[in-house]
Structure 1
Amino acid sequence: MTATAAAPARPAPAAPLRVTWVQPEDLIGHELRQAAEDGRDAAELARRWQAAGGTTAPGRAGASPAPAGPALRALAGALLDELALLPCPSEADEPTELTAIQREWAPWPGDGGPRPDGGVPAARLEAAWLGRAAGCLLGKPVEKLPLDGIRALARSTGNWPLTGYFTESGLDPAVAARHPWNRRSRATSLAGNIDGMPEDDDLNYPLLGLLLLERHGPGFTTGDVARLWLDELPAGRTFTAERLAYRNLLGGIEPPHTARYRNPFREWIGARIRADVHGWTHPGDPAAAAAQAWRDATLSHTANGVYAAMFVAAALAAAAGGGTDVHRALRAGLAVIPARSRLARAVRRGIALARDEPTGTPAGFATVVDRLHSAYGHHHWVHAVPNAALLAAALTHAGGDFSGSICRAVSGGWDTDSNGATAGSLTGLLAGSPEALPARWTAPLRNRLATGVRGLDGIGFDALAARTAALVVPASPADRTKAPAP
């Protein structure tokens, strides 16, 4: 009997690769929602999409329930192009061009706070970096969870109103089953598990901003931002508007068209999380900080997405000047964006609602949050408008207090880690030094930041502060009256 070798087993077929956030069938629902927000009449295009079997925008995910067939995908692409040609009524009050935005500015200099002759102390910048990290880390385990889930998890563990990092200690298993933590963050961002700051895009982008200024200085162009991304930012680490801008770059599309072509996320929050370094390095000069943030933001965003970045950069510039008044910083942020824009109106509403509730204790802030969700809950949870309203409300209600601000920002839901990060950055600056921040927030960070940005993994916040301080552009009278050219 002759032995025969067994035939090698065939490998199981690989699961089809599904690249999210970029397929036409994933984008069309979001673009239809964007059209409703900016006033375009897209009713007929929406009917054609629904009649063909198309689905609405995913509520929290980056992909539709199932990939589309060739015919439906082709229709989605055609409809995206038709949507781009529709007249957009909101553009009259919400321009993207810098010169048009500047025409809306209040006379400058405005209420931008102190204008130091020298730089920003490294200790103040270290507090800003630490504050950004701590606020982000607080929000990481509940990112993407609905508001009722955040409240249920906090209450179940005796941490409501929020006073510290989320924990599993004492958590009711039934609550945990109904509202699971963000699975990517659970092991690194819950109290007891934190050992340094884990990687997050809310910190990666400020690191890229640092590299941008080190390589090109404050006169960088939007093209320089694009080249930095291609050199240092893996495409798989991008999401929403940034991923589509990246795709457009690889397809030969140049800025600022990278922000518009088949990019329904262009008014979402992504540009805002890139704004901090521009504010930190322009102490007392909100106009210059805002113009610098504009050149960064317009690679991937338009209108309200750009305003969110300008608003934050200007507010941070006011705080970096050495002031301690969060309300002045918010006024400086509002002064550099069009007053009739949806984002400016949302910020003013957030501030007004926060002022209507008793301040000093966090309990009344839940009422503010409920009112904001009632007003803006129709937006996607990553959209710039509702998140700007919540951020402004949290900072106002807490009076600029560090712990109160990050806890309120995260407890309000939506983009929890991004709102916590920005609130922590601003109030860290206002606090003035790492020692002024409560150790319960900063000690677990262990002066160590994990990142995929080349050459920076494991860097300390003190080292980041020193490098940032070397990039500070002191304000001058001339700088306050004109912004850098695009």
Structure 2
Amino acid sequence: MTKWIGLREIVREEITQRREEGCEVIGFTERLDAAGTNESQLMDVYHALMALEPSKDFTYVEPSGLEEIRAERPIGPRLMGNNWDDSTWQDKFYGAWLGRAAGCALGKPLEAASFMNGSGDRPGWHNIKLWFEGAGQWPIRHYTPSKSTAEAQYNIEIAHWSSLASCGDNIRYMETDDDIRYTVLGLLMLEERGLDFNSWDVGKMWHRHLSFGQVFTAEAQSYLNFARVTSHISGEQPEDWEQHVHWGRSYLNPFREWIGAQIRVDGYAYGGAGHPQLAAELAWRDASFSHVKNGIYGAMFCAAMIAAAFVESDVRRIIEIGLSEIPKNCRLAEDIQLAVRIAEETNDQVELVSKIWESFKHYHPVHTNNNAALCAAALIHSGGDFEKGITTAVLGGWDTDCNGATVGSILGASLGATALPSSWIDPLNDTLYAEVSGFHPISISECARRSYNVFRKIQN
């Protein structure tokens, strides 16, 4: 039913998803067990789950429509003034692209089960610490080492199959990664369509530029569902496209509040630099192709933070601006506020990630809420320091490359390229491989230049 799991596993994940959405799911695990592998019976359980309504004691207000979201958000600076000259702006765009690449590359080798889920009764962050200690590189001051005595001693290993080019002893460029491909696609969308695009256009672009092997979880299911829809529709976008998109993001997609949309927003946020409301809206259009509720809010929250970071240096204020673009009474807002309180009360990096892990480990390792909370905590802990920010985000575990990339993007935009530590930037050699036509390879500075040009075009 998806790339990796069958219908039975999808229904099992749907039980968790419906519980998180406030529905009463007592008895559904037993119904799933009774259904065995019978597809008809499994679908009966699935449809029963999807028919549930949130319990009356579920007090969160979590719409998925843009205007409904805006009606529930707090006051915020929808458009931020600035007096940067062109050279400063360009430096900030280059900083954002470099920061995203550096944070992503640091976390990419650690996107493996031992570090995302934990193992041996150890949380994921502890295994990351053991890996760097076993390589004689603790505390983290450079890219992830490819070898560590922790592999044999603790039976943990990095993602060898997909990330050796990002390890500290090998790194010469930013290797291909979904976090970077989506940044490229956001840039391409704004270059091709400007502000004139919707969620249907997102699906069409994915089908032009991405293979099925390059999409995962919610993106994979929406990609597949969109193919089913478009196979029956010829010609232009149908008038009822929104109904088709909603079906595509919902049907057999228990991953619709996971992190996928959150990692796709940077290209749009760069176009909306200094304009958090616009950045959040563009993120909403993209996220709505595959996600609902908190999955959408994570995208809007991060997009608004990135846009704000181009003109704001106070990390606490950047987070507040991000929160001002999502419903004030949603699960994500509550989780972010808790993460900020923990970070403000905790000075030690290891103690911080331990507290964040314990507070949010009930979520799946690639859920939106726990990873967004970790990013917020890492930003607070960083105090604006780039290395401190990306290393804290990655040390926390879960979706390591995504979180390093998001925090790196925010701090890179805030600080600018010239202020970023050469120890993190020089190994990239200003080179990106994205596995997208025209961007494999390409200089990171060229991507930044094109994002800046899009930003200027949108402004005018």
Say yes or no: TM over 0.5.
yes
User: Does structure 2 retain, via aligned residues, the 8 Å contact 1:216–1:224?
Assistant: no
User: Does residue 131 of the first structure (1) align with residue 96 of the second (2)?
Assistant: no
CA distances 1:1-24 after superposition (whole Å, capped 9, x unpaired): xxxxxxxxxxxxxxxxx9534631
C-alpha displacement of 1:432: 1.4
Map of 2:332 onto structure 1 = 343
Letter in 2 for 1:437: L
C-alpha displacement of 1:323: 2.5
Greater share of helix = 2
Separation in structure 2 between the aligned mates of residue 201 and residue 170 of structure 1, nearest angstrom: 26
Q: 145-154 or 398-407: which moved more? A: 145-154
Which has the higher Rg, Structure 1 or Structure 2?
1
Map of 1:299 onto structure 2 = 289
Map of 2:313 onto structure 1 = 324
User: Does structure 2 retain, via aligned residues, the 8 Å contact 1:116–1:283?
Assistant: no
Separation in structure 1 between the aligned mates of residue 139 and residue 11 of structure 2, nearest angstrom: 39
C-alpha displacement of 1:186: 4.3
Please, which of 112, 122, 132 is the counterpart of residue 90 of structure 2? 122
Separation in structure 2 between the aligned mates of residue 463 and residue 469 of structure 1, nearest angstrom: 10
CA distances 1:428-470 after superposition (whole Å, capped 9, x unpaired): 011112x311111111111111121112101001100111011
Map of 1:152 onto structure 2 = 130
Please, which of 250, 269, 285 is the counterpart of residue 260 of structure 1? 250
C-alpha displacement of 1:29: 1.3
Map of 2:445 onto structure 1 = 462
Letter in 2 for 1:349: L
Letter in 1 for 2:53: P
Letter in 1 for 2:318: A
C-alpha displacement of 1:395: 0.4
User: Does residue 171 of the first structure (1) align with residue 149 of the second (2)?
Assistant: yes
Map of 2:240 onto structure 1 = none
Distance 1:21 1:400, change over 3 A: farther
User: Does residue 375 of the first structure (1) align with residue 351 of the second (2)?
Assistant: no
User: Does structure 1 retain, via aligned residues, the 8 Å contact 2:76–2:324?
Assistant: no
Separation in structure 1 between the aligned mates of residue 359 and residue 151 of structure 2, nearest angstrom: 33
Separation in structure 1 between the aligned mates of residue 402 and residue 40 of structure 2, nearest angstrom: 35
Please, which of 1, 16, 21 is the counterpart of residue 38 of structure 1? 21
RMSD, aligned α-carbons: 2.2
Taking only the aligned residue pairs, the percentage that are identical comes to: 36
Distance 1:229 1:340, change over 3 A: same
User: Does structure 1 retain, via aligned residues, the 8 Å contact 2:386–2:420?
Assistant: yes
Map of 1:228 onto structure 2 = 205
Distance 1:44 1:455, change over 3 A: same
C-alpha displacement of 1:40: 0.9
Separation in structure 1 between the aligned mates of residue 177 and residue 420 of structure 2, nearest angstrom: 21
Map of 1:482 onto structure 2 = none
C-alpha displacement of 1:160: 2.7
| Gaps in structure 1 of 5+ consecutive residues | 1-17, 54-68, 359-363, 480-486
User: Does residue 84 of the first structure (1) align with residue 84 of the second (2)?
Assistant: no
Q: 20-29 or 245-254: which moved more? A: 20-29
Separation in structure 2 between the aligned mates of residue 440 and residue 109 of structure 1, nearest angstrom: 35
Map of 1:411 onto structure 2 = 395
Map of 2:274 onto structure 1 = 284
Separation in structure 2 between the aligned mates of residue 52 and residue 155 of structure 1, nearest angstrom: 47
Separation in structure 2 between the aligned mates of residue 137 and residue 248 of structure 1, nearest angstrom: 31
| Gaps in structure 2 of 5+ consecutive residues | 119-123, 231-243
C-alpha displacement of 1:194: 1.0
The TM-score with structure 1 as length reference comes to 0.85
CA distances 1:308-356 after superposition (whole Å, capped 9, x unpaired): 0000111111112x32222221110011111111111111111110100
Letter in 2 for 1:369: V
Map of 1:438 onto structure 2 = 421
Separation in structure 2 between the aligned mates of residue 47 and residue 348 of structure 1, nearest angstrom: 36
Please, which of 336, 342, 367 is the counterpart of residue 353 of structure 1? 342
Letter in 1 for 2:107: G
Distance 1:223 1:408, change over 3 A: same
C-alpha displacement of 1:52: 3.7
User: Does structure 1 retain, via aligned residues, the 8 Å contact 2:269–2:307?
Assistant: yes
Separation in structure 2 between the aligned mates of residue 410 and residue 153 of structure 1, nearest angstrom: 13
- Report the secondary structure of 2:72's partner residue: coil
Please, which of 206, 231, 234 is the counterpart of residue 183 of structure 2? 206
Letter in 2 for 1:150: I
The TM-score with structure 2 as length reference comes to 0.89
Separation in structure 2 between the aligned mates of residue 51 and residue 333 of structure 1, nearest angstrom: 44
Separation in structure 2 between the aligned mates of residue 379 and residue 350 of structure 1, nearest angstrom: 14
C-alpha displacement of 1:474: 8.1
User: Does structure 1 retain, via aligned residues, the 8 Å contact 2:146–2:169?
Assistant: no
C-alpha displacement of 1:115: 3.8
Map of 1:182 onto structure 2 = 159
User: Does residue 74 of the first structure (1) align with residue 13 of the second (2)?
Assistant: no
CA distances 1:158-182 after superposition (whole Å, capped 9, x unpaired): 333322111146635523x610111
Q: 308-317 or 364-373: which moved more? A: 364-373
The runs of at least 4 consecutive aligned structure 1 residues that moved more than 6 Å come to 117-120
- Report the secondary structure of 2:431's partner residue: coil
